[in-house]
A and B are shown apart, each in its own frame.
Chain A
Amino acid sequence: MRLPVAAALLTLVACSRTTEGPTPSVSGATNPRQPGLQPARVCNAQGGTAGWRVSLAGSGFAPMPQDVLTDSPRVGLPEVTLRGASTATLPRERVFFVSASQLDVDVPTRDTSPAQELAPGNYSVEVKNPSGTTGQLADALLVVPPPTLTSATAPEGFTQTAPSPVELVGTGFRADEAPTVVIRGAGLPEVTLTDVTVVSTTRVTANVPPNTPAGTYDVVLTNPEGCAFTLPQGLVVSFVRLGTLTLDPRFGWRRQNQSITIFNTPSRAEDQTFSGGLPEIVLFAPLKTDPTKPVEIPLRRAAFVNGNTVTAVVPTCSGNAALPLTDPECPNGIVPGGPYAVRVKDPSGAAGSVTAENGFTVLEDPAPSITSIAPSAITTNGLTEPTNPLVVTGSNFGANAKVQLLLKPIGSQNIRACDLTATGTPGTTELRALVTNVAADKCVEYTPTGTQVAATGGFALSEGLYVVRVQNTNNPAYANYSGLIVTNPAANPTNAGTKVAPLTTKLTGARANFPLVVATDDLGQPYLYALGGTNGTTALASVEVAPVTLFGELGGQCTGSTCTFLTLERSPLGAGASPVARRGHTAVVRTVPGDTSYVFVLGGIRADGTAMTTVERAQVLKVADAPALQPPTVDAPGSLPAGTFYYRVSAILSPTDPKNPGGETLPSDEYPVTVGAAGGGSTTLTWPCLPNATGYRIYRTVGANAASGSELLLEQVPASDCTGATPPPVSYTDTGTTTPAGDAPLPPGALGKWAGAGTLLQERGNAAARLVDDTVYVTGGFCSTVGTGCASAGTSLASVERATFTANTADLGTFSAAGTLTRARQRHSLAVANAVTAPNAFTPATPDNSQDAWLLVVGGDAGGAPLTGTGIIETAQVKSSAGPTAAPAFTQAPYNTASTHGGWAEIASNYLFQAGGTGGAGFAFRSNLVCGGTTRDPARCTAPTSFDGTLGATSVAYLSGGPRYLSGNVLFRAFVYAAGGFPNDAGGTPTDTVERLIY
């Protein structure tokens, strides 16, 4: 058996196949574009259809003749495999034999044919000869991603005679390898930028050489290994430039398009203001549809406001897709991140940009929101104990978000933001901080255009209204809340210029004997309303409005530095077809959660001097009720001249509309339309119909390139049928044949039509009213028509009546009697004492009076001089823990005070304030704790006798001088606003000024 076995083994050996050949070794890899750089860089994108050529050095690279005895002889080539984050064995056609010591390979990329993207990272190179022998070199290649460019901006503009710095923002830059940057424009020479410096992996700086021709250029950035990125029309070289551009706000949530304002602050002689017309505003950012590729995203609804201001909407949600938005996920929106640079090109050719550093950030999560702060009012002693901090509650507070206090330094337009000392454990819905003095180095200031500058001071605890801000630290998002009221427990209210900046907004004219109220719209924006009154000789039906800022200042209609309230021409007092002028009426505001506010006027004195029983209601118009105008289209033919026009559309509601009968809605968002240089265009507007509309009003700017916001009524058209599941949209074509004239769109804060909301039991002129929870109380006044409750015409009244709102509505019930004052009076004031206005006097401590409410009837007269004697102030408990008091009993409070009339009374921070005329031009301002006690320990209000003590007179006087007799007054946040009023209780010409006092 041995022989066969041996023979078999020998045969096996003889028959087994063997192949012998050279063994390769790899000693290096070289990118021909970077000959000296090891490891060789290879980009994983671009490279044409073949990819990027890399030379491999080594030995023993041995192709092999193959199949030479067949009809198809061929060459067997070494096989090259790249191993790293991913593995790629290169196909034969990507390997080129140069010599036994050199192979060239074409490394594939995601853009080659076929595509194969190598993940970035280090790769070893393995060469395998056809004979099967292999050799490899570790870390021979470094695969890198391609660069991208999101923006190219020239923060200092361009200069013809010197290099102009530009900043390029993108990705894929490498600190040790400066890219090449060239700019190319149609009909323009190619220009290579100089002094290219990689600042970071996302930022490169370079210089545009002097004498570069003006024009729009593509920016081509090429990394040394070969990959390039072209930002089409990414750089506009213009020697006419805008000033310093800033954004406000600088952030927006990815699911909601964000309106922004762009401020232009010229600071150099050559800087230009906006010239009018439609600016081109683009944001450089990637869209979700292609997150790797930054593109130019035109901002929507760009609008010229004035030479220093334009507005636009960043389409964070819609991206470049058409409106309306339907998918809440915003699949076409901008990729969250940034900040992204913004470029503005004025129709004049002047250009400017906001660098990415100061650009716009798209937030992944919603911006922070503050729902409440506690406490909302503190003293100048601050909150220094961690056990008793300022608690800020809200949502979406970012990681490491901080609490700041914002203030407006007296005499400065800047806003100062000071970091409070954090305490406790921060959360996304609650932050805690101590309120103490803050040094200047913990503060920054923002100019009116949003530029951050060093603070010129810190924060010192003094009386005032401070805006609480939650500032994210990982993005620019913040939330403001107005506000934290700081009072001085040892001082009287004041309007001293060192404490509170004077208001510059005035009424549109002289006005007195009118109610002044604050109401908010559906966005929560507060407005101050002056309702009717008299100008000294004539009763007024007019209503005027001014917005209230976070800091308690008033906006309005401004010409230069002079601002006035804005008259609501379409909302004069009167529920009927004609306005009904009146004075001596009173008003309350009912705010319905999730809806808006409603202003109620009660009683009053007609122009003929007779008292009224009317109760009328007007809605603060809701932004949400405006028609949703779609982006207009420009058509031809038409007679619109070349230039930009702005459009808005509002709806006229049915006379049966329960909230705004026959009234007009707020206008839609403003949309610009630009007719080309040839002119002769027309515009088609489209919007969804509103079921309760009877017509629509189309507004347009009058001339081409007029400022946005200057629209006037172009035409009112009847509404079409708006029934069915999918009613057709409304469209309107403006051919240019009609010139806008007449009404302007209603401003924010406008009121709807006044509607009847019941009647008082008794005619009441010069009465007073207050809302306590859901119940409105009306006291005193005088009557004109003799009858029950009115012994004679002109008799002052002691009766009290009340009506109650249905919960969470503005539906007011029927008025009924609610007690009788001990003294008939008119031109008096009401104040409410409860846990809100006097938190230390109404507490849960035994006896628990935290649910109690008392009505204080202050001062007044009985048809002449202020009351004298006892009972200047009366009180009645109107609410307890059991609910409204069935029969309020008014008793004379034992306060030691003197009467005032035609003034106001408020309770705030435990104090009762009484102000008004004392006769002639006399004026008194008195105050004390509402129920006595001490500053540190205010007494409780538990019985009629609790309302005791001396209301001491202070030296506070109105800045306007005089008593502001029968002025309009309202307490809002930290201020009592006083508007208009007579200089003397004998009459005269009322003032048109408005001022505020801080308490």
Chain B
Amino acid sequence: MNALPLLTLLALAPTAAPAQTPAPQETAPAAASPEPGGRILLAPKLGFFKTTTPLNGAFFLGAEAGYLTPLLDNRLAIVAEFNFHQPDVRGTLSDPQLPGDAPYTLTEREMAILLSAVYRFEGTLTPYVGAGPGLYLHRAQAEAFGSTYTETEGTLGFQLLGGLEYKLGPGGAFAEVHYHFTRVGFLTTGDVNIGGFLAAGVGYRLHL
């Protein structure tokens, strides 16, 4: 279902790469503020993720690797990112077909591989915004009625992000907010958008 656009994306990836290979020095316009380091961006992330579903909020871990292109006056970066979080939800089900109320626990583990274009307003305090598609790998595990059900599925989605980076050392500390959109259709979850806002995500981005 979601595989076809993903395949297209991946198939195009190797051919698009050469277009990004010219040395930044050769194409970078002089108007942009110089990077504190180089054009390679590396950053770990830690944050709190709360989906738009009844899933509880959960910490998330992330890491990104980017390349600041000379495009748009050295303000456009291409960033690959990996996110992981595992929220859960607990509840009770009632049904006349059951002998009584039945508790359940649903744990949704999500790993996302994202590719975003980020526009950076370089400065000491660098705001940035970005957007891009992502591949979200879901794994929902439900425990109820003494049994455990596990469902897995990969879906495509996208994210919108915005952040603020403060130059600090060879890189910058940053805080950012993400919005993810990715639907999932497990029996246990129902057909829902399991993305949501990432609040209070913080990290440190190296500029190499």
Which residues from chain A sit less than 8 Å from chain B, CB to CB? Answer: 3-4, 7-8, 11-12, 14-22, 60, 62-70, 72-77, 92-93, 95-100, 130-131
Q: What's the minimum C-beta distance from A1 to chain B, rounded to whole angstroms?
A: 9
Q: Which residues on B are within 8 Å of A, measured CB to CB?
A: 1-3, 6-7, 10-11, 13-14, 53-55, 89, 91, 93, 95-99, 102, 104, 106, 108, 135, 137, 142, 144-155, 185-192, 194
Residue of B nearest to A20 (CB): B150
Given contacts A4-B10, A15-B1, is CB(A93)–CB(B145) below 8 Å?
Answer: no
Q: Is the CB of A15 within 8 A of B192?
A: no
Asked if residues A18 and B151 are in contact (CB atoms below 8 Å), the reply is yes
A residues in contact with B2, CB < 8 Å: 15
Contact A19 B10 (CB under 8 A): no
Report chain A residues within 8 Å CB of B152. 17-18
Q: A14-B137, A67-B189 are in contact. List 6 more A-B contacts (CB 8 A).
A: A4-B13, A15-B155, A19-B151, A20-B151, A62-B147, A76-B187
Given A63-B102, A92-B97, check contact A69 B149 (CB 8 Å). Answer: no
User: B147, B153, B192 — which one has the most chain A CB atoms within 10 A of its CB?
Assistant: B147
Shortest Cβ gap from A278 to chain B (Å): 57
Using known A-B contacts A67-B189, A68-B91, determine if residue A75 contacts B97 with beta carbons closer than 8 Å: yes
- Minimum C-beta distance from B174 to chain A (A): 29
Q: With A17-B152, A69-B55, A100-B145 in contact, is A64–B188 under 8 Å at CB?
A: yes
Interface CB pairs A-B, < 8 A, 20? A7-B10, A11-B10, A11-B154, A16-B3, A20-B151, A21-B148, A21-B150, A64-B147, A69-B53, A69-B106, A69-B108, A69-B190, A70-B189, A75-B95, A75-B98, A92-B97, A97-B98, A97-B99, A97-B145, A99-B146
- Could you say which residues of chain B place their CB within 8 Å of the CB of A69? 53-55, 89, 106, 108, 189-190, 192, 194
Partner of A63, one of B6, B13, B144: B144
Q: How many A-B residue pairs have CB under 8 A?
A: 147
Alpha-carbon distance between A70 and B98 when the two chains are bound, in angstroms: 21
Partner of B187, one of A12, A66, A98: A66
- CB distance B145 to A74 under 8 Å? no
Chain A contacts of B99 at CB under 8 A? 96-99
Q: Return chain A residues, CB-CB under 8 Å to B154.
A: 11, 14-16
Contact B150 A68 (CB under 8 A): no
- In the assembled complex, the CB of B119 is this many whole angstroms from the nearest CB of chain A, namely 28
Closest to A95 in B: B97
User: Which 7 residue pairs spanning A and B have beta carbons closest together?
Assistant: A67-B190, A15-B154, A70-B190, A62-B147, A14-B154, A69-B53, A21-B149
CA distance A74 to B1 in the complex (A): 25
Checking B13, B98, B145, B190 against A66 with a beta-carbon cut-off of 8 angstroms, the contacting residue is B190
Q: Which A residues are in CB contact (< 8 Å) with B93?
A: 65, 73-75
Contact, CB under 8 Å: B14 / A68: no
CA of A18 to CA of B189 in the docked complex: distance in angstroms? 14
Q: Does B149 lie within 8 Å of A68, measured CB to CB?
A: no
Residue of B nearest to A131 (CB): B149
A11 engages B135 (CB within 8 Å):
yes
* Also in contact, A62 and B3, with CB within 8 A (given A75-B102, A96-B97): no
Q: For the complex, what is the distance from the CA of A93 to the CA of B96, rounded to whole Å?
A: 8
Residue of B with least CB distance to A7 = B10
Q: Which residues of B contact A97 (CB under 8 A)?
A: 97-99, 145
Q: Smallest CB–CB gap between B115 and chain A, Å?
A: 13
Max chain B Cβ within 10 angstroms of own Cβ: one of A19, A20, A93: A19
* B95 and A74 contact, CB distance less than 8 A: yes
A18 and B153 within 8 A (CB): yes
For A8, give the chain B residue with the smallest CB separation.
B7
A128: shortest Cβ distance to chain B, in Å? 13
In whole Å, how far is B100's beta carbon from the nearest beta carbon of chain A? Answer: 10
Q: How far is the CB of B134 from chain A (nearest CB, A)?
A: 13
| Cα(A66)–Cα(B145), bound, Å | 13
Other-chain contact of A70, B137, B144, B148, B192 (Cβ < 8 Å): B192
Tell me which residues across on chain B come within 8 A of A76, comparing CB atoms.
187
Measured CA separation A99–B99 after assembly (Å) = 8
A507 to B11, CA, bound (A): 124
Residue of A4, A22, A63, A95 near B14 (CB, 8 A) is A4
Nearest residue, chain A, Cβ from B151: A19
Q: How far is the CA of A96 from the CA of B144 in the complex (A)?
A: 16
A8 to B142, CA, bound (A): 29
Most chain A CB neighbours (cut-off 10 Å) among B142, B148, B190: B190
Please name all residues of chain A whose beta carbon is closer than 8 Å to the beta carbon of B191 when the two chains form the complex: 70
Alpha-carbon distance between A17 and B189 when the two chains are bound, in angstroms:
13
A62 touches B145 (CB 8 A): yes
A15 to B190, CA, bound (A): 17
In the complex the two chains form, is A68's CB within 8 Å of B104's CB?
yes
Residues on B with beta carbons closer than 8 Å to the beta carbon of A93:
96-97
Query: Residue of A at shortest CB range from B111?
Result: A14
User: Which residue of the partner chain B has the closest CB to A18?
Assistant: B152
Contact present for B147 and A100 (CB under 8 Å): yes
Tell me the nearest residue of chain A to B92, going by C-beta: A73
Q: Which of A8, A63, A65 contacts B10 (CB 8 A)?
A: A8
Q: How far is the CB of B182 from chain A (nearest CB, A)?
A: 12
Asked if A63 meets B145 with Cβ closer than 8 Å, knowing A17-B153, A69-B53, the reply is yes
Task: Say whether B153 contacts A20, CB under 8 Å.
Answer: no
- A65 in contact with B104 (CB, 8 Å): yes
| Contact in complex: B97, A3 (CB < 8 Å) | no
B55 pairs with A11, CB closer than 8 A: no
Instruction: Give the CA-CA distance A131 to B10 in the complex, in Å.
Output: 32
Residue from A16, A65, A131 in contact with B153 in the complex, judged by beta carbons closer than 8 Å: A16
| Chain B residue nearest in CB terms to A100 | B146
A21 touches B153 (CB 8 A): no
- State the Cβ distance, A2 to closest chain B Cβ, in Å: 11
Chain B, residue nearest A68 (CB):
B106
Q: Give every chain B residue within 8 A of A19 (Cβ-Cβ).
A: 149-151, 186-187
Contacts of A63 in B (CB 8 A): 97-98, 102, 144-145
In the bound complex, residues from chain A placing their C-beta under 8 Å from that of B146 are: 62, 99-100
Docked Cα-Cα span, A67 to B151, in Å, equals 13
**In the complex, what residues of A have CB within 8 A of residue B106's CB?**
65, 68-69
B136, chain A: closest CB distance, angstroms: 10
Which of chain A's residues has its CB closest to B103's CB? A65
Q: Which residues of A have CB within 8 Å of B55?
A: 69
Q: Which residues of A contact B147 (CB under 8 A)?
A: 21-22, 60, 62, 64, 100
What are the residues of chain B within 8 A of A14 when measuring CB–CB? 135, 137, 154
Beta-carbon nearest neighbor of B139 in chain A = A18
A452 to B156, CA, bound (A): 91
Measured CA separation A74–B96 after assembly (Å): 11
- Residues from chain A with a CB closer than 8 A to the CB of B13 are 4, 7
- CB-defined contacts of B1 to chain A, threshold 8 Å: 15
- Smallest CB–CB gap between B109 and chain A, Å? 13
Please name all residues of chain B whose beta carbon is closer than 8 Å to the beta carbon of A73 when the two chains form the complex. Answer: 91, 93, 190
Is the CB–CB distance between B188 and A68 below 8 Å?
A: yes
Q: For B108, give the chain A residue with the smallest CB separation.
A: A69
Question: Contacts of A60 on B, CB cut-off 8 Å?
Answer: 147
Q: Are A65 and B142 in contact (CB under 8 A)?
A: yes
Complex contacts, A95 vs chain B, CB 8 Å: 97
Which residue of chain B has the shortest Cβ distance to A94 in the bound complex? B97
Q: How many angstroms between the C-alpha atoms of A796 and B148 in the bound complex? A: 127
Task: Tell me whether A66 and B188 are in contact in the complex, defined as CB-CB below 8 angstroms, given that A12-B3, A73-B91, A75-B95 are known contacts.
Answer: yes
Q: Is the CB of A68 within 8 A of B189?
A: yes
A62 to B104, CA, bound (A): 13
- Considering the chains assembled together, what is the distance between the CA atoms of A3 and B191 in angstroms? 33
Docked pose: A66 CA to B189 CA in angstroms:
6
B191 closest partner in A (C-beta): A70
Contact A15 B6 (CB under 8 A): yes
A51 → B minimal CB distance (Å) = 15
CA distance A74 to B92 in the complex (A): 10
Residues of B within 8 A of A17 (CB): 151-153, 185-186
Q: Contact: A62 with B194, CB < 8 Å?
A: no
Residues of A within 8 A of B108 (CB): 69
Q: A residues within 8 A CB of B155?
A: 15
Contact B98 A64 (CB under 8 A): no
User: For A8, A17, A22, A92, which residue has the most chain B Cβ atoms within 10 angstroms?
Assistant: A17
Closest Cβ–Cβ distance, residue B145 to chain A (whole Å):
5
